[in-house]
């Protein structure tokens, strides 16, 4: 991951929890066309597998067109089935070694909350990126784990892999996250569930 790409495309965009109609795909196309997103994660917690596959195929096509990495949340087998670029796994999901057996050389990202130990383990087992959070109050990602900016500063010095920050990130707080050491800011609710801005206006706020 080259430094200039990180600066230009520093958004790690996560899907809404529900994708109901074709309006989403039209908006996704417009959002990715702005060239601020480098990763898109499919995160559908309460959806049937067959729906995840049909939705995933449509999203993968849009991501490929815009040169955005397509990542599946939690499910390495689904990522393999969709031939996604990779998978993001949490601490309660499949362990990274088993995920690597399924996905071979695909991208694997690991949730590390606010833990240096988890981040060092992720590095040891050759994760492709680490994700810290939640940094701010988030309606999308409800978690007891709170992260602070110090973990980003530490990771920038000690972990030689890309750093993703997640949790309540918006246009008023994202700059301090990037300045503190994150390569990518993960967001979902600010883009898809924003009461003030439509998705295209929301993503345009990240400059």
Q: Any idea where the domains of the chain sit in the sequence?
A: 3-204
Rounded CA separation 29/32 (Å): 5
Q: Tell me the CATH number for domain 3-204.
A: 3.20.20.70
> Quick one: pLDDT at residue 8?
78
Q: In the 3-class helix/strand/coil scheme, how is the chain assigned residue by residue?
A: CCHHHHHHCCEEEECCCCCCCHHHHHHHHHHHCCCCEEEEEECCCCCCHHHHHHHHHHHHHHHHHCCCEEEEECCHHHHHHHCCCEEEECCCCCCHHHHHHHHCCCEEEEEEECCHHHHHHHHHCCCCEEEEECCCCCCCCCCCCCCCHHHHHHHHHHCCCCEEEECCCCCCCHHHHHHCCCCEEEECHHHHCCCCCCHHHHHHCCC
Confidence (pLDDT) at 6: 43
pLDDT, tens digit (0-9, with 9 covering 90-100), for 21-58:
999 999 999 999 999 999 999 999 889 999 999 999 99
Q: What is the pLDDT of residue 140?
A: 61
In the prediction, which pLDDT does 142 show?
58
Q: pLDDT value at position 3? A: 38
- Taking 50 as the pLDDT cut, the residues of the chain under it are 1-6
Determine the pLDDT at residue 4.
36
pTM of the model: 0.93
């Amino acid at each position: 991951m080259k430094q200039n790409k990180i600066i230009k495309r520093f958004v790690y965009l996560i899907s809404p929890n529900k994708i109901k109609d074709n309006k989403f795909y039209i908006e996704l196309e417009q959002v990715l066309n702005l060239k601020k997103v480098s990763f898109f994660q499919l995160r559908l917690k309460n959806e049937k597998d067959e729906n995840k596959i049909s939705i995933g195929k449509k999203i993968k096509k849009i991501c490929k067109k815009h040169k955005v990495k397509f990542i599946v949340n939690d499910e390495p087998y689904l990522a393999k089935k969709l031939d996604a670029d990779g998978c993001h796994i949490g601490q309660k999901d499949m362990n990274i070694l088993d995920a690597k057996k399924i996905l071979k050389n695909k991208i694997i990202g690991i949730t590390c909350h606010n833990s240096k130990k988890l981040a060092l383990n992720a590095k040891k087992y050759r994760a492709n990126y680490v994700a810290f959070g939640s940094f701010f109050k988030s309606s999308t990602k409800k978690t007891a784990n709170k992260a602070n900016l110090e973990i980003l500063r530490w990771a920038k010095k000690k972990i030689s892999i890309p750093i993703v920050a997640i949790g309540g990130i918006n246009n008023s707080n994202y700059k301090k996250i990037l300045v503190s050491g994150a390569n990518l800011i993960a967001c979902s609710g600010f883009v898809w569930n924003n009461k003030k801005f439509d998705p295209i206006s929301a993503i345009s706020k990240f400059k």
